[in-house]
A and B are shown apart, each in its own frame.
Chain A
């Protein structure tokens, strides 16, 4: 995976190229299915029959099983994590979590998440998403003084073109300590040359 030295990283150029850019208009490879919902519920011990039991859900307000709001609709609205689809960045040398935005580092931590849930997502729905880059900025963290923060906004639509959810996400991308140490040698030489 390629990385960029902070001295070679032009944040203003990156912002100009990427902010507002439509990154993805992906559609789900599969419809919304029972078993991924079951695995999501198992992950957090959720026993709600509205998400798990087709018979019980028939008597509920939606008349059928729905996905829990907390199940990231990205799961059903994109190519999915495996096997990779060629059009979904399979050959990119940037990590998937940067959405293609170049960054000095290649390690990611998700920092802030905001969801609006507008319509129920039902088993059998076909979802698609539109993802835009909303902001890119530099904010140092203890691990990395050149950490880059990427904010994305995504709308999720069903097969009726109804917006079912909106998502705003802030991802921090930092360098591993080994890269920070390696880059520091050049930064020291650079600042020494300037002195």
Chain B
């Protein structure tokens, strides 16, 4: 379990550029490998068959795109609060997250702006592991409720 209050709002005005998101870590043990396949329904052998992955030129299995997207999505929705909405999410898979690694998802606020009265937060997002460092850098934009907008509309 975690200590997140999913019913709480996070308001645009309360976010500061440079703020770090709490993030979370997951150890890629055998159970996690099975959960990856179950949750994504991605049956490509490179993600669960070590012999096939090595025969393909990899050092071992590596976790798939559905899992990677899910990790980064959770990173954002854990933080965005009750009404926060992830508008954009992009990332590059530059390194592998493989068995035995401990993967940490984390992010930093890089900008906050109003766009046609949409209260937006831009973030740099990352997956990194204890074996190779940052494997998956990316960017995201989250729309948050704004007290200013609410006051203008009332």
Contacts and interface: CB of A to CB of B under 8 A. Distances in A.
A116 B87 contact: yes
Interface size class of A (residues with CB under 8 A): 35 or more
Contacts of A117: 85-89
Interface in A114-147: 114-117, 143
A43 B68 CA distance: 10
Could you tell me the dominant secondary structure of chain A's interface residues? mixed
Given A69-B89, A117-B87, A49 B6 contact: yes
A107 B52 CA distance: 10
A194 to B, nearest CB: 28
A112 B36 CA distance: 19
B93 A70 contact: no
Q: Is the interface of B mostly helix, strand, loop or mixed?
A: mixed
Interface residue range, chain B: 35 or more
B82 to A, nearest CB: 6
Interface string B115-139: 0000000000000000000000000
Interface string B61-93: 000111111111110111000110111111111
Contact of B65 (A36, A72, A80, A174): A72
B153 interface: no
Interface of B: 1-2, 4, 6-7, 24, 26, 35-36, 38-44, 46, 55-57, 64-74, 76-78, 82-83, 85-93
Interface of A: 36, 39-50, 56, 59-61, 68-72, 75, 80-82, 97, 107-117, 143, 174, 176-178
